[in-house]
Structure 1
Amino acid sequence: MDPIRNPYTPNAGARPPAIVGRDDQLDSFNLLLARLEKGRTEQSMIITGLRGVGKTVLLGAFREKALESGWVTVELEASKHDDTRFSEELFYKFKAALFELSPRKRWGTRIKRAASILSSFGFTVDPSGNLSMSMNIDALEGRGDTQILALDLTEVLVALGEAAQEADRGLVLLVDEIQFLSSHQLEALISAIHKTVQRSLPITMVGAGLPQIAELAGDAKSYAERLFKFLDIGTLSERDSKLALEQPANEEDAEFTATALQTAISTTEGYPYFLQEIGSSIWKVADGSPITPDDVKTAIEQYQEKLDSSFFRVRLDRATPLQAAYLRAMAGLGPGPQSAADVAAVMDRSSQSLGPIRAQLIEMGLLFTPKFGFAQFTVPHFDQFMLRAHPQLNVPEPRSRKAKTTPSNETE
């Protein structure tokens, strides 16, 4: 069929033609904004889930809803970087938010104060003053300039919340990949949002991240479980999976046979990204409508090759031989949570010696810990990929510490 009319969107964070199965999360966000607009408090939100379940897509949908309601949005994608870069990004994003709240010529007292505090914060990022001078307003000494992130970010967010209140608007901070924030960056954000809740200000945060973020947030601040709603998303129901495939095709005057549709859904197990990927592959191989079981079977090979060469491979390529062996050992035990002891037994090593490897894989975002002593893949179907990529388990021979002459991640 015509590739230009292909309605499926197998791209990272790309909005699919139909967002299905996420009504509860969208309703929660609508409620959050509506209550804050009324001066009421409401828990902020953190969306959790495996790779490919649509967390980034949801953040995009939240952004659209916020903008429709007249809110200002600040979007961040967390990454593993130093505090200076994180603070710089916050400065520039908050600066843009201030000007979006109101043009400078209409700034009232609170917006001017927020600009002054943001200028002070700029000095902690760039002592030369280049960042703060770009605000073209005097810094408010003693506010937002302690160089203690939790204190300074609280000052800035409270000031921004008061500025939004003065402008009769709201501000929502949308943070993707939130699990990659350092512990004190996460603690600072939580502390700052907590203070804005205490002041009943129209400012909130919605984060999205891998399943371990709930534990990380709890470790950062014990009250995080009361400050946020942790909403876990996963596979789509069979009904919603059908909608995700059928609706885009119907809009292009195409349809699936019942068997073809069922085969496609079974292959993907209802994971949203996989549904877009297989839908795109089917569209490329099908000659016309209706789409048949043979079309789907032909597309499955292309679909799997595409996932193996990109979605899965880019993650495995970051792993050392010993890390890859750990992933392969886990895959041989199955897709669900696996105990550290069982994985170590398969590799004929001790759990203690493999502890650093497991920790590195969690830090890399390839594994998470659903419960104590167990780890699970963050990527759906990664176990199947590992079995295809490494039919045999090959565990590198232990190396003597004395024989090492260069640093290595292969901790014994």
Structure 2
Amino acid sequence: MDNPYTPNAGAAPEILIGRDAQTEAFETLLKRLSRGRSEQSMIITGLRGVGKTVLLNRFVEIAIASKWEVIELEASKHNNTHFRQAMFSQLKSALLRLAPRARWTARGKRAAEVLSAFAVSVDGQGAWSLSWDVPPAEGFADHGDLGMDLTDVLVAIGEAAKEQEKGLVILIDEVQFLGSPQLEALIQAVHKTVQKKLPVTFVGAGLPQITELAGDAKSYAERLFKFPKIGSLEGDDARKALTEPAANEGAIFNEDAVDLAMEITRGYPYFIQELGYQVWTVANAHRITRDDVAIAKEAYDSKLDGSFFRVRLDRSTPLQTAYMRAMAELGPGAQKASDVARIMGRESTQVGPTRAELIEMGLLYTPEHGYAAFTVPDFDQFMLRAVPTLDVPAPQRRKKTTPTP
């Protein structure tokens, strides 16, 4: 009951440490936009378990305290076809929070009409319509182009928000899973609100490849956004992330216990939370010793292997598993595609599609051209434990087809 550690996906630690620069940048962003001044927005990048989602949740608290309306989305490669529907639903709610329908001004009513036009679209799956009993505007958000339509909507809502002396922030987690059309549309729409000095912005979080994806979507993305990279906590911040939650419950870590914990976790926020949780279950006094940490390590390793790591391996095909095992054999850093292929006894062209699949799944990213690295810290060590022997499936031969006489 009194365990102060929170090793859960996106769960905020009791004390958020080491992210002051990002929270201050977000506060500055909202304040400048509120005053009609431009400011680069941000897309936070980092590996799994470094606290990107936690930071976005903190941004929600800051935005609400600043009287901004917030839209929260988690991107998924499975729901890009429903992106317009999801945006309509969220924007509709945000508009009604900005001002109830009975208090709509001319700008509020126009924003609702533009949003109604956005709610009807024809795509590859045919026409769809969402319930919204406001007549659609003509000539706005009805172009059949997601970027142009979303631009019209965000400009209209931004004008209504500005009139109410409020703002709108769109927070999207797992940005790397947005399809190119969706990401391009968001960047295009936000770019127009910046030009018009409207209090609208988009802040995202994703794996390291999002920097390249955003640049590919729109060449001006590098000027529209900052891409702060967050990683492991360092020095006193890492130590405080472990010791301060315990101190709030009246428990104190010995210095050598903290030293061992830092050696085990290397300062990764999720790992600190998991190790702290396991240490709390084995310590039997209010002074936590190095022996307590050493004893807890077995449960810590088992928990990470059984959940944090295993859930990713279980989604992989035998060939994908072999590719990751070959990478692990080469070491923890980014590995050259040709070296991985050599370890597998294949040509780069033969395993290139497998590498691309793992990147699309979010298991690998490309820190530089021709290289790939794991998106999960210490995943190489797990692969060596979980798959002791590299077993590369035999190439599948194409079946010969007999011509129809």
**Which bracket does the TM-score occupy, shorter chain normalised?**
over 0.9
Which of 205, 210, 213 pairs up with 1:208? Answer: 205
Output the CA distance in 1 between the equivalents of 2:391 and 2:120. 53
Output the CA distance in 2 between the equivalents of 1:47 and 1:111. 32
> Equivalent residue for 1:390?
387
Which of 282, 285, 298 pairs up with 2:279? Answer: 282
- The alpha-carbon distance between structure 1 residues 366 and 129, as it changes in their structure 2 partners (threshold 3 A), is closer
> Equivalent residue for 1:348?
345
Displacement of 1:147 in angstroms is: 2.1
Displacement of 1:47 in angstroms is: 0.1
Aligned partner of 2:82: which letter?
A: R
Aligned partner of 1:23: which letter?
A: D
Output the CA distance in 2 between the equivalents of 1:17 and 1:401. 56
Output the CA distance in 2 between the equivalents of 1:125 and 1:287. 64
Aligned partner of 1:285: which letter?
A: V
Output the CA distance in 2 between the equivalents of 1:334 and 1:379. 14
> Equivalent residue for 1:170?
167
Which of 104, 107, 123 pairs up with 1:107? Answer: 104
Output the CA distance in 2 between the equivalents of 1:341 and 1:212. 20
Output the CA distance in 1 between the equivalents of 2:285 and 2:204. 41
Output the CA distance in 1 between the equivalents of 2:44 and 2:329. 30
**1:321-342: CA deviations, max 9, x gaps?**
0110000000011111100011
1:262 counterpart SS class: helix
1:362 counterpart SS class: helix
Q: How does 1:335-374 map to 2 (within 5 A)?
A: 335-374=332-371
Q: How does 1:42-81 map to 2 (within 5 A)?
A: 42-81=39-78
Q: How does 1:280-319 map to 2 (within 5 A)?
A: 280-319=277-316
2:253 counterpart SS class: coil
Structure 1 residue runs of 5 or longer lacking an equivalent are: 405-412
Answer whether contact 1:79 1:177 (CA < 8 A) is retained.
yes
Superposition CA RMSD, Å? 1.4
> Equivalent residue for 1:156?
153
Which of 86, 92, 97 pairs up with 2:94? Answer: 97
Runs of 4+ in structure 1 off by over 6 angstroms are 125-129
**1:97-145: CA deviations, max 9, x gaps?**
00111111111111111100111111117987751xx332211122112
Displacement of 1:82 in angstroms is: 4.9
Output the CA distance in 1 between the equivalents of 2:285 and 2:82. 51
Which of 21, 24, 28 pairs up with 2:25? Answer: 28
Output the CA distance in 1 between the equivalents of 2:269 and 2:81. 36
Q: 2:270 matched to 1:264? A: no
**1:66-122: CA deviations, max 9, x gaps?**
111111100010011354411111111001000111111111111111100111111
1:401 counterpart SS class: coil
Which of 308, 321, 326 pairs up with 1:324? Answer: 321
2:227 counterpart SS class: strand
> Equivalent residue for 1:408?
none
Displacement of 1:392 in angstroms is: 1.2
Output the CA distance in 1 between the equivalents of 2:141 and 2:260. 57
Output the CA distance in 1 between the equivalents of 2:54 and 2:383. 27
TM-score normalised by the chain length of structure 1 = 0.95
> Equivalent residue for 2:187?
190
> Equivalent residue for 1:409?
none
Answer whether contact 1:10 1:280 (CA < 8 A) is retained.
yes
**Higher mean C-alpha displacement, 256-265 vs 134-143:** 134-143
**Higher mean C-alpha displacement, 138-147 vs 85-94:** 138-147
Aligned partner of 1:139: which letter?
A: P
Identity of counterpart residues, as a percentage? Answer: 60
Aligned partner of 1:349: which letter?
A: R
Aligned partner of 1:93: which letter?
A: Q
Answer whether contact 2:121 2:129 (CA < 8 A) is retained.
no
Q: What is the aligned residue count?
A: 399
Q: 2:126 matched to 1:122? A: no
2:110 counterpart SS class: helix
Which of 129, 140, 144 pairs up with 1:143? Answer: 140
Answer whether contact 2:121 2:127 (CA < 8 A) is retained.
no
Answer whether contact 1:75 1:174 (CA < 8 A) is retained.
yes
Answer whether contact 1:88 1:125 (CA < 8 A) is retained.
no
